[in-house]
Amino acid sequence: MSFPPLSRSLIRARTWPLVVDAAVFGVVLAAIYAILTTVHYWMGVVTPAANISRSPRALPGYALYSLVRMTVAYLLSLVFAVAYGYVAAYHKRLETVMVALLDILQSIPVLSFLPGVMLAMVSLFPTRQLGVELGSIVLIFTGQVWNMAFSFYSSLKSIPRELREAADIYRFSPWQRFLELELPFGVIGLVWNSIVSVAGGWFFLMACEMFVLGNHDFRLPGLGSYLQRAAGAGDTPAILWGLGAMIAVIVLIDQLIWRPLIAWSDRFKMEQVESGGAVSSPILHLLRNASAVKWIERRTLQPAWERLTVARSFAPRPAPGPRRIWLVRLAQAAGLVLVAAVVLYSAWQAFEMMRGLRGTDVSITLEAAGATFLRVIASLLISLVWAVPAGVAIGFNPRVARLAQPIAQIAASVPATALFPVVLLGLVRLGGGLGVGSIILMLLGTQWYILFNVIAGAMAIPSELREAADVFRFTRLQRWQTVILPGIFPYLVTGLVTASGGAWNASIVAEYFHFQGKIMTTLGLGAQISSATDSGNTLLLLLSTVVMAMLVVTVNRLVWKPLYRLAETRYRLEG
């Protein structure tokens, strides 16, 4: 039976919303099932050394467990990044310390957090699997949160002055200022840094799901432990199966989550004329037209938004009394004294522990620090050469972005350690070693921070500036000097800072690698940290981490802080 064209269009108009609602309902049911399955597993009896099967049939379950860990770690990272960036941007007394501390924390390798995190989590839940799972989630959190915090901090520092003055004139409440000005201004950077953060989580998933701590062997079912076991055994088919499953999950997340978020964040682009090449997403279009989503938005989201913003828009701000000011200052002073006491006590205990080290340990550590520092610089320079022009090209062209962004995300997410055996075999046959191979692996963990931040910066450049460059017929060099580089500079600084931390972090797997039952290593802090973790040498692990922190603080004071000040004062977008 055939229908006329008008009847077919009416049937599609009536049935398509039902299909979309059914799909949304199915996604909700799948999420509920995943949550219940995960909770049942987490609340079970602790099994720190789970048997990891290399059968492809186990991959769906492993993918579910890894995805849940990544999701929980990302949500924690998002909350922490927004809160930390907000406090650092608006508290002058704490800003210098908080930015330096953030730079230190993002540079400390995941394995340096491992002993304290795992022992603390396991001691909290000694009889439940939840303790080991929380330890793995916190480790993933430490591998993905720092660049998001840097991004939001940088966005808050670069808000145009006229927008702040408008918020003051209209007497925005703190919540309204946050929801209507500060958060929207940082959305583009947060979305793109979220993508590279999750990619960094996938990159370090192998170290976060299967690790050795002294005599304890912790193994959690997941894609990371599957790939680590397959790589350790040299099982190429299992490696390909694991990579295929991980790529499938990454592509699915890209289409269902990141692509709609990128299209949604385009509305927060600061421009006075509407751009012609807006980013689009079929999934976002379907969600906006789904009756179930509209019902939820009408009944819950809109009332909550109005209570946070409209209801308190013009509420006067009562001036704090002298007693309240005195109490606030007293609380701040007490907090600073408490923090200082904890820091001093911890530093003294660390110094007492390191007094047992030999002079040779210190000299070798300093040599290792110099070697890793040179590798970090090399990886940053190589990343800059290609990531800046590629990021600008992707950010300026939505059609190119639709194709290149998922490819870049997959390349950034695939653990290089799973492919590293192939790289090592090639280097050995060519007469090279891990010294060169470590730079390649660090590069794979570094370049994406620069690329994704440059993409965000290029997308945030107002369309009228690019159109003005066309009207005045700027040459390519003039475009880069007057529009592109000044426009992306704050994002580029954030990318460089986080890429530097990513390079230091990647050194733990770049300089010390288990390969076919053997340990391949080269001189470097990353190798020293990995070796100390395997052998349970707490003193050497502490010394290596302290030296790395001192290097990071020095670079922060001499390089990153002046660049952030330059981005805040000279390259802030203002009318």
User: Which residue in 77, 98, 204, 91 sits closest to 146, CA to CA?
Assistant: 77
Q: Dihedral angle at the C-alpha atoms of 379, 383, 386, 388, nearest 10 degrees?
A: -150
- Integer Cα distance of 23 and 256 in angstroms: 12
Residue 362 has pLDDT above 50, yes or no: yes
pLDDT of amino acid 279: 61
pLDDT of amino acid 86: 92
Q: 118 and 257 share a domain?
A: yes
In a domain? residue 21? no
- Integer Cα distance of 552 and 546 in angstroms: 10
Structural contact between residues 262 and 279, judged by C-beta atoms closer than 8 angstroms: yes
Amino acid at 393: A
In a domain? residue 13? no
In a domain? residue 326? no
In a domain? residue 438? yes
Q: Averaged over 382-399, what is the pLDDT?
A: 88
pLDDT of amino acid 520: 76
Residue 10 has pLDDT above 50, yes or no: no
In a domain? residue 51? yes
pLDDT tens digit string along 400-452? 877 777 777 777 666 655 566 666 666 666 666 677 778 887 887 788 889 88
Other beta carbons within 10 angstroms of residue 3's beta carbon come to 10
Q: 496 and 355 share a domain?
A: yes
Residue-level length of the chain: 575
Angle, CA of 539, 545 and 548, to the nearest 5°: 140
Q: 308 and 346 share a domain?
A: no
Q: What percent of the chain has pLDDT over 70?
A: 70
The three-class DSSP label of residue 145 is: coil
Query: Where do runs of H (alpha helix) occur along 275-321?
Result: 282-289, 291-296, 302-308
Amino acid at 162: E
Q: 101 and 233 share a domain?
A: yes
Q: 117 and 181 share a domain?
A: yes
pLDDT tens digit string along 32-80? 666 666 666 666 666 656 677 888 888 888 888 888 888 999 999 999 9
Q: Does the CA dihedral 408-410-416-419 come out positive or negative?
A: negative
pLDDT of amino acid 515: 62
In a domain? residue 276? no
Number of structural domains in the chain:
2
- Integer Cα distance of 155 and 150 in angstroms: 9
Q: Averaged over 142-168, what is the pLDDT?
A: 85
Comparison of pLDDT for 276 and 465, the residue scoring more = 465
- CA–chain centroid gap for 433, Å, is 30
pLDDT tens digit string along 487-508? 889 889 888 888 887 788 778 7
Residue 9 has pLDDT above 60, yes or no: no
Q: What percent of the chain has pLDDT over 90?
A: 6
> What CATH number corresponds to the domain at position 194?
1.10.3720.10
Give the single-character DSSP code of 523: S
Comparison of pLDDT for 11 and 142, the residue scoring more = 142
Q: 290 and 256 share a domain?
A: no
pLDDT of amino acid 192: 83
Backbone angles phi, psi at 340, to 5 degrees: -60, -40
- Integer Cα distance of 524 and 504 in angstroms: 10
User: Which residue in 467, 533, 465, 416 sits closest to 113, CA to CA?
Assistant: 533
Q: 255 and 298 share a domain?
A: no
Comparison of pLDDT for 298 and 77, the residue scoring more = 77
Contacts of 457 by beta carbon, 8 Å cutoff, 6+ apart: 391, 395, 487, 488, 489, 490, 491, 492
- Integer Cα distance of 278 and 303 in angstroms: 29
Q: 200 and 291 share a domain?
A: no
- Integer Cα distance of 410 and 255 in angstroms: 12
Q: 419 and 306 share a domain?
A: no
Task: State in Å, rounded, how far the first CA of the chain is from the last one.
Answer: 63
User: Which residue in 44, 520, 418 sits closest to 209, CA to CA?
Assistant: 418
Comparison of pLDDT for 296 and 194, the residue scoring more = 194
pLDDT of amino acid 447: 86
Give the single-character DSSP code of 213: E
Backbone angles phi, psi at 134, to 5 degrees: -65, -35
Q: Averaged over 184-193, what is the pLDDT?
A: 87
Q: Which band of pLDDT confidence, cut at 50, 70 and 90, is reported for residue 8?
A: very low
pLDDT of amino acid 517: 64
pLDDT of amino acid 400: 80
In a domain? residue 15? no
**286: exposed, middle or buried (Cβ count in 10 Å: 0-12, 13-18, 19+):** middle
Backbone angles phi, psi at 218, to 5 degrees: -100, 120
Residue 213 has pLDDT above 80, yes or no: no
pLDDT of amino acid 287: 67
In a domain? residue 169? yes
Q: 212 and 351 share a domain?
A: yes
**36: exposed, middle or buried (Cβ count in 10 Å: 0-12, 13-18, 19+):** exposed
Flag the least confident range among 36-45, 216-225, 250-259.
Answer: 36-45
pLDDT of amino acid 82: 93
Mean pLDDT of the chain: 77
User: Which residue in 138, 68, 128 sits closest to 105, CA to CA?
Assistant: 138
Residue 25 has pLDDT above 80, yes or no: no
Q: Which domain holds residue 307?
A: 281-315
Q: Which band of pLDDT confidence, cut at 50, 70 and 90, is reported for residue 81?
A: very high
Contacts of 4 by beta carbon, 8 Å cutoff, 6+ apart: none
- Integer Cα distance of 398 and 280 in angstroms: 9
Flag the least confident range among 86-90, 185-189, 276-280, 297-301.
Answer: 276-280
| CB burial readout 65-96, b (16+ within 10 A) else e | bbbbbbbbbbebbbeebbebbbebbeeeeebe
The three-class DSSP label of residue 235 is: coil
Give the single-character DSSP code of 120: H
Residue 470 has pLDDT above 80, yes or no: yes
Q: What predicted TM-score, i.e. pTM, was given to this entire model?
A: 0.72
Q: 232 and 293 share a domain?
A: no
pLDDT of amino acid 196: 81
Q: Averaged over 392-397, what is the pLDDT?
A: 86
Structural contact between residues 417 and 513, judged by C-beta atoms closer than 8 angstroms: yes
Q: Averaged over 266-271, what is the pLDDT?
A: 72
Structural contact between residues 478 and 465, judged by C-beta atoms closer than 8 angstroms: no
Q: Does the CA dihedral 545-495-563-83 come out positive or negative?
A: negative
Give the single-character DSSP code of 515: E
Q: Which band of pLDDT confidence, cut at 50, 70 and 90, is reported for residue 377?
A: very high
Residue 422 host element (H or E): helix 416-429
Q: 46 and 184 share a domain?
A: yes
**Radius of gyration from C-alpha coordinates of the chain:** 25
pLDDT of amino acid 161: 83
Q: Averaged over 456-468, what is the pLDDT?
A: 83
